[in-house]
Structure 1
Amino acid sequence: MTTVAPPRPFPGTLRPAALGADGMVAASHPAISRAGADVLAAGGTAVDAALAMAAVAWLALPGQCGLGGDAFALVREPTGAVDAFCGSGFGPDGGTPEHYAGQTVLPRHGAGSVTVPGAVAALSALAERATRPLAELWAPAVRLARRGLPCTAKTAGDIARHAERLGADPEIAATLLRDGRAPAVGTRVAQPLLADSIARLAVDPAAFYTGDLAERAVAHLTALGAPFSGDEWAASGEVAAEPALRRRYRGRWVHQTPLPTPGWMVLDQLAACEGELGAAPLSAAEVHWLAGAARIAFADRYAHAGSDSDGWRRGGEPAAVARAKERIRAGDLPGAAGRPDGDTTSLVAVDADGRAVGLILSLAFTFGAGLSIPGTGIVLNNRLGRGAYLVPGHPNEVRPRRRPLHTLHTWLVTDDDGGLRHVGNTPGGDGQVQWNAQLLSHLLDHDADPQAAVDAPRFSVFPGSDAGDLGAAAELRCEDRLGADTLAGLAARGHDVRTVGDWGAGGSAQVVSLDVERGCLVGGSDSRQEGVALGV
């Protein structure tokens, strides 16, 4: 098939969009994308490909995701149905407000920062839609873990920044450090303990929540002072498909993962932006509007949202949308917003039948709690320390059997008849909800191709709804590539603009789109990291 690269309406795109006729994957590391492309080329589905990619991601990006973290997915079936899989676990049963009396924030690292990991439960549920068993799909990752993947610049940098903390855990140190330091780029990093764990859980995922592996995790954490009972592990092991959230924007349906994810925040930002964008991409006027919508969404999140607060009304209602628009026009914006920090990785896969998967995985902050379950190679998350509040009476106050609010989410775009148009996501802490809204605006307001959308200059409002960031002074962090005129226009509109370099905003966005006119898939992988989009 002869093709011509789609137009790129934004400056800064380093490479043309990838093209594929029968399937496509995109991820933040070449080995992850290769794993998915191999599955598609061998006749597997997008679900099969995403599951294989997830397991390789645990090896390729150990600071960003792992068996001890969380995972969320959206799946669009060939029928047009879109379902969500939400894998995040509970904090400790003994983690009552009284237990933390005298503290203002939860610890960000260590045993006290851990929630029960949800990734295995989510991927096990997703595997019910696979055409191949998990043991087959995860076998390549097991082999890679035993042999070792070459260390990339991203992983070497992650390890170097956290070497002292990682060195406190003997098994993490033995795996990731070389004489107390990060391995050189290109050094093979074998993870034999993790290989054994992946192989075992591929056969019996439930063992993570009710078997001896769960008992080992609980015993280790309680010995370090975390008030787990073990019952919260068993209660976190069941994930089922549930309806995705959705709203219309620019004549398309945008689907999002539900609570405890902040997918609703992206939909509310789009509601506030409907009819206001499209004239001048990345102009001061458009950046101001998107930033204002983000600030309002974060203020709503802090005021109302908890993982079990389904009854509260979100800002997408007509009256709330009208108020949001008035506030943005008047410059009457709240100060609380997002923190574009934390390590996560995201991936997408689409097959020839139009089945699409957006999957995002995380340990919360880089290397999570900095603890591993002894004898397993499994690094644990620090989602409780990042996501839960010690604010009395708040819907996100830490309590037993309450999942903390999450930063992870993923999205899909379909036509009225359910036909696939786009699937995408990005890591980046509370930057995610902002950058995903920006990606969707690039794609739907400006018809950008996926590579142009993921490489477009980025911006984020700060500080965050992360527990440790509340109350900091408001800033608008912008990549320099927005240009002098746009930056000056934002300052004139009252923003405290802080520049972060040409590519320094953060994130690693992945997008695959359907090019209806040419009958092919088009993909983009963010140039801010080391990933690639591959078509088959």
Structure 2
Amino acid sequence: MYKTLAFALSSAALAFSPAFAQDQTGAEKPKLEIGAGGRPVGEPWSRSPVYAANGMAATAHPLASQIAIDILKKGGSAVDAAIAANAALGLMEPTGNGIGGDLFAIIWDPKTQKLYGLNGSGKSPMGTSYKQFMKQLNGSKTIPPFGPMPVTVPGTVDGWFEMHGKFGKLSMSEILAPTINYAREGHPVAPVIAYYLDSNLKRFNQSVEMIGEFDNARATYFADGAPKTGEVFKNPDLANTLSKIAEGGRDAFYSGDIARTIDTYFKRIGGNLRYEDFAAHSSKWVAPGCVDYRKGYELCELPPNSQGFAALQMTNILKNIDLAQYPRGSAEVLHYITEAKRLAFEDVARFYADPDASPAPLDWLLSDEYGKERFALIDSAKATPEFGPGEPKLEGEGDTTYLTVADKDGMMVSLIQSNYRGMGSGLVADGLGFMFQDRGELYSLDPNHPNVYAPGKRPFQTIIPAFMKKDGKPYMSFGLMGGGMQPQGHVQVMINMVDFGMNLQEAGDAARLNHDGGRQPTDDLAGNGADLLGVLNVEPGISDETVEQLKAMGHKVERVNNGAMFGGYQAIVRDPQTGVYHGATEMRKDGQALGY
């Protein structure tokens, strides 16, 4: 019990401390702050997972989860339901995703008994050279986060149709109908999403000059300011766009009226994307990589240009130490996780890029031998001030939504989709109802870097779905949103379950760490200017004793009360004996797990 309680939220104990609130007259009155109530089973700071035999959906919005279950009940596959939920989230959670962004997925197919990976990320404009791009930056050493410069081709819609063509059962008209209806008639805004809408509007208002054309986005999302919790939000333009996609397929988006509207829009605002960029787009089926952890568990992730293999590198490092010998919330456990993250991300910054342009030495990076070599660099007593990337032994060389769905046949879908920085670039094409991603901010400008900007090239991607096997069989479809938090979040959830025996829900609710810093894929190869030690951010559930121990070990520790930077978790486990699904979401988002 101590191992998990040490990582519980400190508010789990009843705390009665005086504070002040305002009554309806505006006068201050004393208030008692009350901690969590008690539970008859499990940890007091968590809740029960959801159990169901026929199907399960876990998404960041209850209405999206309901839509997914409705699709499953109609006879749709897990892929059909995942597409339906993703479409709904693009409407209901525009702060994290939409059809202006990219998509990655891992799919377990029970018929072939195989894992399939889909890279649905788009490329930079083919007609803009590195020299032209640098000229447009006008001396800036970084790519702006808003406006037309960081916009790359959105890959989500093509990703939907690739998955549907391989694993779909229902028509795309049936799959998209619920979201089209909600877009026309409206839906009540959820609390966490309302919080993010408000913060995005503030950030956009501060960057209007950088964005350039913001009238369309304001009219689509912020006509009367940021939508409030419970306010009914409609997006008829998105309904029309999705209707065209439902009727005309992916070509309606990439070579039809939608693509031509986008072409006209970017020409008008001085952007680089063109019709030809959309017409040339295609998704890419890729092989997921898996590494053994312990006790028969394997973690599976997608290869670059995503950062998924960073989680596998962390796993290969951490399996060299028995973390269960320490309490889960101890300084020792957090220290090893942090140092493993720092080591893995040094390689991310050096090697991870579009494999068509710069293949990474993946076999070497994921080898047990290299994991042992990197583990040997960790000092058990203190934080190492600076790590560097490994030297390959070769012959010659955010914000995001995550969802998972499983069906009665045993198909499991792990899907992540994002516009990158918050809502994206701030740009909405005339009458289309969705915002374009700003994923192109993640190119390096160093001409010698594997991730350097080039025309027709995919940028480095932060978004990653995850999957776990147990004794070679499908076990868990899961993910965790939020930029560089994602690989370290995947590993923390795995450790919670495998090493410390937490159930699916507890593994996501437990307090997390988020290490930020070190070299980045957007830096030059030398990592000039990077904070190489970085900052170790921890949630309130990490004890004061642990924080002080970590500081004494040389870590820069910050306690963060707002859970926004620690991701948003969804997961489904399939019991290998009974076939029963276990589903979980978490308190940091508005989400819900539902089954039938």
TM-score (norm: length of structure 2): 0.83
Q: Report if the CA contact (8 A) 2:401-2:416 is conserved.
A: yes
Matches within 5 A, 1:101-180: 101=135, 102-128=139-165, 129-163=167-201, 165=204, 169-179=214-224
Secondary structure (helix, strand or coil) at the match of 1:247 reads strand
Q: What letter matches 1:197 in structure 2? A: T
Q: Is the partner of 2:476 in helix, strand or coil?
A: strand
Identify the match of residue 445 of structure 1 among 499, 514, 522: 499
Q: How does 1:271-350 map to 2 (within 5 A)?
A: 271-276=316-321, 277-279=323-325, 280-308=327-355, 309-313=358-362, 314-329=364-379, 331-332=383-384, 334=386, 342-350=398-406
Does the CA contact (< 8 Å) of 1:295 and 1:333 recur in 2? no
Note the C-alpha offset of 1:76.
Answer: 0.2
The Cα RMSD (Å) is 2.2
Name 2:95's counterpart in structure 1.
63
| Aligned twin of 1:208 | 253
Q: Post-superposition shift, 1:89? A: 0.6
Match of 1:249 in 2: 293
Q: 1:488/1:146 Cα in 2 relative to 1: closer, same or farther (>3 Å)?
A: same
| Structural mapping, 1:36-75, within 5 Å | 36-75=68-107
Is 1:86 paired with 2:97? no
Code of the residue aligned with 2:291 in structure 1: it is: R
Show the counterpart of 2:484: 430
Which structure has the larger Rg?
Answer: 2
Q: CA deviation at 1:450?
A: 1.1
Q: Is the 8 A contact 2:54 2:408 kept in 1?
A: yes
Shift of 1:160: 1.8
Question: 2:457 aligns to what?
Answer: 402
Q: How does 1:342-361 map to 2 (within 5 A)?
A: 342-361=398-417
Distance 2:104 2:388 in 1: 25
Cα distance change of structure 1 residues 302 and 439 upon mapping to structure 2, 3 Å threshold: same
Amino acid at match of 2:384: D
Give the equivalent residue in structure 2 for 1:535. Answer: 595
The answer to whether structure 1 residue 392 and structure 2 residue 441 are counterparts is: no
> Closer, same or farther in 2 for the Cα pair 1:498/1:47, shift >3 Å?
same
After superposing the two structures, state which structure 1 stretch, 159-168 or 63-72, moved more: 159-168
SS at 2:324 equivalent? coil
**CA displacement at 1:316 relative to structure 2:** 2.2
2:351 touches 2:360 (CA, 8 Å); kept in 1? no
Greater shift, 494-503 or 269-278, is seen at 494-503
Which runs of 5 or more structure 2 residues have no equivalent in the other structure?
Answer: 10-44, 390-397
Offset at residue 86 of structure 1 (A): 1.0
SS in 2 for 1:422: strand
Distance of aligned partners of 1:171 and 1:420 in 2 relative to their CA distance in 1, 3 Å threshold: same
Q: Is the 8 A contact 1:95 1:398 kept in 2?
A: no
Question: Aligned AA for 1:143?
Answer: N
Q: CA deviation at 1:134?
A: 1.0
Distance 2:86 2:246 in 1: 12
Contact 1:92-1:226 at 8 Å conserved across structures: no
Aligned letter for 1:61? E
Question: Who is 1:26 aligned against?
Answer: 58
Name the structure 2 match of 1:11.
Answer: 8
* Partner Cα separation in structure 2 for residue 336 and residue 63 of structure 1: 35
Q: Which runs of 5+ in 1 are unaligned?
A: 1-6
Q: How far has the Cα of 1:364 moved from its partner?
A: 0.4
TM-superposed CA distance for 1:325, in Å, is: 0.8
Given that 2:348 and 2:521 are in contact with CA atoms closer than 8 Å, whether structure 1 keeps it comes out as: no
Q: Quick one: distance in 1 between partners of 2:565 and 2:431?
A: 37
**Partner Cα distance (1:133, 1:264) in 2:** 34
Q: Is the 8 A contact 2:148 2:272 kept in 1?
A: no
The structure-2 alpha-carbon separation of the partners of 1:502 and 1:91, relative to structure 1 and needing over 3 Å to count, comes to: closer
Q: 1:3 aligns to what?
A: none
Query: In the alignment, is the contact (CA less than 8 A) between 2:188 and 2:232 conserved in 1?
Result: yes
**Structure 1 position 235, deviation (Å):** 2.1
Deviation string 1:488-518 (CA, Å, 9 cap, x unpaired) is 2211221111110274542110011123456
Is the CA contact 1:458–1:505 (under 8 Å) kept in the aligned structure 2? no
C-alpha distance in 2, partners of 1:504/1:531? Answer: 14
| Matched position secondary structure for 1:454 | helix
Q: Tell me the SS of whatever aligns to 1:241.
A: strand
The answer as to whether partners of 1:335 and 1:463 remain within 8 angstroms in 2 is no
Structure 1 equivalent of residue 234 of structure 2? 190
Give the deviation of 1:98 after TM superposition.
1.2
1:471 match: 530
